[in-house]
Chains A and B, each alone.
Chain A
Amino acid sequence: MERSFKTEVELLNLGKGDTFHGEGILAVTKALLQSGVSYVGGYQGAPISHLIDVLTDAREIMDDLGVHFEANASEAGAAAMLGASINYPIRGAVTWKSTVGTNVASDALANLASSGVTGGAVIIIGEDYGEGSSIMQERSHAFAMKSQIWLLDPRPNLPCIVNMVEKAFELSEASSTPVFVELRIRACHVHGSFEAKDNVAAKISRNALMTEPVFDYGRIVLPPSSYNQEKAKIELRWPQAVEFIKREKLNEVFEGEFADIGIILQGGMYNAVIRALQQVGLADAFGESRVPLYVMNVTYPMIPEELNAFCATRRAVLVVEEGQPNFIEEALHAILRRADIQTKLYGKDVLPMAGEYTGEIMLGGVTKFIEAVAPKGVDTAQLHQQFEALTGVKKRAAELLGAPVPNRPPGFCVGCPERPVFSAMKLLEREAGAYHVSADIGCHLFSSLPPFNIGNTVLGYGLGLASNSAIGPLFAKRSVTVMGDGGFWHNGLSSGVSNAVFNDDDGILVIMKNGYTSATGTQEIPSSPHQSQAHRVTDMGIERTLTGMGVKWMKTVNNYHVTDTFNVLKEAMTSKYNGLKVIIAEGECQLERQRRIKPINAMKLKNGERVVRTRYGVDEDTCTGDHSCIRLSGCPSLTIKDSSDPLRVDPVAHVNNGCVGCGLCGEVAHAAVLCPSFFRAEIVQNATWWDKFLAKFRASIIGLMQPA
């Protein structure tokens, strides 16, 4: 795992009277335990990976409470796990990255929502939208509407988030409906505090087992039950939810001085709205606003009575709703029309339809709204000037800088085992011309960035090979699919490999076997290096699995041997074998490897044992500064510096001290016949007497021949 949570785990033990200080997603974990869950599951991915990771490290606490925790095989698996709450009064929660995870989970979610639940079923979704997001920009809101799952969007501070998670279970039980709790990226990572409560052990748990199964045909999604379930959703569960939300006051109204206007906002937008109001002098540091607010901590279902009451006395209201389509704004129009309320609504006319509502965007939207409605006592001309002054610095900076600074997207880490495979693919491209590459989700998708620019399409996690199924037959040359081992176990095995073998696909599949789901924080998978030892399960290696499925052409290469990798790729391209050709590119995730070996080496050094440190370098004398090595590597540690040669104007290549000695740069120099500038240095720490003797002996002979 990328991060150890041994210290954070202690936070989960806090009880009444303690104050929890920590990250948002850990507060959610604590809230789950305070709610008396019997089981928790999920599939990792930013921004909710830490929830999974902390539970993995919290086995003891979970065992004490009798909570069953499972790192599921996919989001579909996690959603299906909620089936335990359909017939039994058991609370459970699962989590994933949305919307991608929600897409995968949709089948189970739709069934779950139709059946309805007995015990509280809560889904924590990390809404990966906007800055820092790595997925397509979509809203989870649509899923809530189509399956009728309630959607909570709490104000992003820890007490409110924790309270809403606890209320989510009650709401779920009060309305027999599963509930989404949506947290945006920054809310997941927000550090704050809240007053803890004691953990609650569930009545049914691993420590208190059930004995009698419940059979109820009414819970099965088959006619006529399914027709009845659809009716129950509208006639029973919806009114129950609305009643609960009103009674428990889950949505909040904050009154203000300008009683004839107001803002209706998603809970998650609250802090940003307050900040914008502060910046134009309409709110103080404690959130006391001159503009009244209706905060929707529940964004689905909407509560017409509350909305009508808020709007009826106001001439204009701004709806702050992030993302598109603007479901809330459109629904509010309909609600007001039905009640014949003539309040003018602002929304996506003053705020952008798409994209994240950052500080700057929110400031613009709120300013435009206030200018348009001109509340009594506000000088709108002055307000506008203030806005111009605040945002003018951007223009001034652009003028001073003259040219935009270069982008710096995330990329492969120093020593990443996936980089050499793309170096080999690049070399093949040079020799053979371009070929179609169906890419997949994972770190390896960074190949689509400079300097490689490899990968023509990406269709979903583990779907690389499936996405190639019509490309292959329609191309005059073979195409290549790249898939990670994480993707392989998530979906690639069933949707990709079995389909390709069954249909006699002639493609080439490169599986990046680095041992973990690296992109989400190096969680373990069935084929992780130490998995079989730790869990004492049977060998679930990729090779055995593929052999069992009937893959006949399979080669394993050591990624760092670029020439070998290149040769195997070329062989796959030119082989007479007509069937799926699988290349398993093996190399452990370097982050995880370093984490493993660093303490071992440190210990050895401390004990005076011999340790050889390896790193690479570029000879400044022979480097001509053409940078072709960089174009085939992109390693962050292989960089450039000014040449100390006064004749050379172009910077020379240089390996900095971040080098972990993976050897790719030297291998590439060989494989691509680049230049003789690369060298490997092996530094012998805690040298033995033999090392010292040999060094001295060699130096004395070399010294006789050596020019200055």
Chain B
Amino acid sequence: MTNTPYPNRPLTVLLAALGGEGGGVLADWLVAAAQAQDLPVQSTSIPGVAQRTGATTYYIEIYPVPMAQLGGRRPIMALTPSPSNIDVMAASELVEAGRAMQNGYISERTTLVASTHRIYATVEKMQMGDGRYDAQRILDAAPQLAGKAVLFDMAAATQEAGTVISAVMFGAIIGAGTLPLTREVCEQVIKSSGKGVAGSLRGFAAGFAAAGGVLPAALPKPVLAPGALPRPDDFPAAAREIVAEGIKRLADYQDQAYVALYLKRLAGIARLDTGDGKLAAETARYLALWMSFEDLIRVADLKTRKSRFARVREEVLAKDEEPIHIIEFLKPGLDEISGMLPPGLSRRFHAWATKNGLAQKLSVGMHIKTNSVFGFTLLRLTAGTRFWRRRTARYAEEQALIERWLGAVEKAAARDLKLAYEIALTARLVKGYSDTNKRGKASFNRIFDHLVDGELKLSDSERAKAIFTAREAALADPEGRGLEKTLGQHGIKPLPPREQAIRFIKPPAARRV
């Protein structure tokens, strides 16, 4: 090895992107910019050929001395990144930055340029509760691992500039100043690419500016709207805002008498909550949600509001002069229809329909155009049957379950606040419509029958833990297998597999000659 005046290694850039985000275009831009400055450059990638979804990386090496000064010598460039050997790590999404950390690519010599927005992976999305990765960990780790961290919401910057995220990333990478590539050359590269030039230049400028000093914000958390309605003073401080929201919700849902019922139900538990008020707060939350259960009346009401029309327009990016049509996918089934009848009649109707095989037939998929006069009127008429709600079978069913739940929470609260809290949170399982709702209630009842009310000999803290574990299992695996497994640990016999409705026909074996 000779002693040369040249740097002993190239600068390395690792780009992490999701398929279809233009990571390849960005790599090409960087290569072209380096070539324009006569710098030796190499890029590689491992793109799957077609699919647009998985995480992928592009790897680029640039030697910071122009070829004219190298006298025919050429640096050897690697095709794979090495740990602690990345100068610029750019990620188009926050968890991809986390993945780079996990793989050892972010070290003291790394300038991390990453977007703070999230695109959720399927495993995060599919849970019944909240399966999202705690992205704050990545934001916290970034400045501790990287020499320099440039973090901002590139998706927002992209939308503002009306371009693709790769242009914003390009600007941020160059703006961070780690690579020997100039802004002028890079902009020239964009110009000569000839496609969407104006937008890309705007995106580049936004990224460049952001890398020059804008610091990351913490992830936005939903904030409670300041309650304009009265906050009953006899509730613990922690619960007041939620109670106010509950009052608003239920007045909107039914009437003032219903609000009074809510407050009465809640009062008993609030009195028992001598702790931090969390029990009262969470009970207030789930009670309000449960009492405003989504029946046909509620859905029709929400679908026809002015605020909803405006929200849809905004969400689908319709311009002011563009008319839009809104078509609802509704499929009320036997349960929804019989749920609207009084309990006795409902039971008889349900049994009769099931016996005559009408369960399937009564469930008709409807496409209702809410912006048409007919569709709108139909939904408004349905919403208008609110006065009838208290007589419906669905109302009776929900109130009975609510009483069971509240009764258990109250009974436990007298003994052990932690246990009462866990029981209160069990209400999180009851949500959704039709089958999903049924499955949720089944899980709820399994937990109540065996862990809350059952004959198990457990201490209060053991019981609280058992309920917590069972609830989390039911949320993670809505098919119920996980729940049965945790129940099994307490010696509870798992439910037998469901009966199968379809009879499969197999040919008699003798037919085969």
Contact = CB atoms under 8 A, between A and B. Distances in A.
A630 B221 CA distance: 23
B70 to A, nearest CB: 8
B48 A410 contact: yes
Interface stretch (A33-41, A205-213, A462-470, A678-686): A678-686
Contacts of A650: 128-130, 428, 431
Contacts of A676: 299, 303, 328-332, 433
B128 A626 contact: yes
Nearest to A156: B79
A123 B247 CA distance: 75
Nearest to A634: B122
B308 A621 contact: yes
A617 B74 CA distance: 54
A578 interface: yes
Given A282-B1, A285-B10, A657 B317 contact: yes
B502 A646 contact: no
Contacts of A279: 82, 85
A408 B48 CA distance: 13
A692 B104 contact: no
Interface in A650-708: 650-651, 657, 666-667, 669-676, 678-685, 687, 691-692, 694-695, 698-699, 701-702, 705-708
Contacts of B145: 393, 396-397, 400
Interface string A372-411: 0000000000000000011101101110111111111111
Given A186-B46, A476-B506, A647-B288, A271 B433 contact: no
A624 interface: yes
Contact of B1 (A187, A289, A435): A289
Interface string A261-290: 000000000111011101100111111111
Given A578-B511, A626-B128, A360 B478 contact: no
Contacts of B137: 400-403
A107 interface: no
Interface string B312-334: 10011110011111111111110
B451 to A, nearest CB: 22
A591 B50 contact: yes
A573 interface: yes
B290 to A, nearest CB: 10
Contact of B8 (A278, A290, A578): A278
A649 B284 CA distance: 13
Contacts of B78: 271-272, 274-275, 359
A675 B304 contact: no
Nearest to A158: B42
Interface string A332-370: 000000000000000000000000001110110000000
B140 A271 contact: no
Contacts of A570: 502
A702 B376 contact: yes
B141 A400 contact: yes
Interface stretch (A76-84, A223-231, A514-522, A545-553): A514-522
A391 B303 contact: no
Interface residues of B, number: 154
A628 B316 contact: no
B83 A393 contact: yes
A576 interface: yes
B371 interface: yes
A234 interface: no
B385 interface: no
Nearest to B430: A624
Contact of B102 (A397, A412, A706): A397
B124 A288 contact: no
A683 to B, nearest CB: 5
Contact of A706 (B56, B306, B512): B306
Contacts of B43: 190-191
Interface in B19-40: 19-20, 27-28, 31, 35
A649 B371 CA distance: 31
Interface string B41-73: 111111111111111100100010000000001
B102 A619 contact: no
B355 interface: no
B347 interface: no
A698 B242 contact: no
Given A396-B145, A402-B137, A643-B222, A698 B373 contact: yes
Contact of B31 (A191, A410, A522, A698): A191
Interface stretch (A138-146, A312-320, A443-451, A534-542): A443-451
A257 B288 CA distance: 78
B289 A647 contact: yes
Contacts of B317: 657, 683
A2 interface: yes
B294 interface: yes
Contacts of A21: 35
B18 interface: yes
B54 A411 contact: yes
A640 B118 CA distance: 10
Contacts of A649: 130, 285, 428
A666 B119 contact: no
Interface stretch (B93-101, B198-206, B269-277, B338-346): B93-101
Contact of A287 (B50, B76, B224): B76
A433 B428 CA distance: 27
Contacts of B308: 619, 621
Nearest to B55: A408
Nearest to B98: A405
Given A278-B8, A673-B434, A131 B120 contact: no
B435 A672 contact: yes
A672 B439 CA distance: 13
A394 B373 contact: no
Contacts of B500: 431-433
Contacts of A132: 46-48, 56
A159 to B, nearest CB: 9
Given A411-B54, A432-B501, A651-B132, A390 B83 contact: yes
17 contacts: A272-B80, A276-B82, A359-B85, A393-B145, A397-B145, A400-B145, A410-B53, A411-B51, A411-B53, A412-B51, A413-B20, A413-B52, A647-B289, A649-B285, A684-B324, A692-B323, A695-B371
Given A286-B73, A519-B49, A681-B318, 19 more contacts: A275-B78, A359-B80, A401-B102, A403-B137, A435-B504, A450-B122, A451-B122, A473-B512, A506-B507, A521-B50, A619-B308, A620-B311, A624-B431, A628-B478, A674-B432, A674-B434, A678-B329, A681-B312, A702-B371
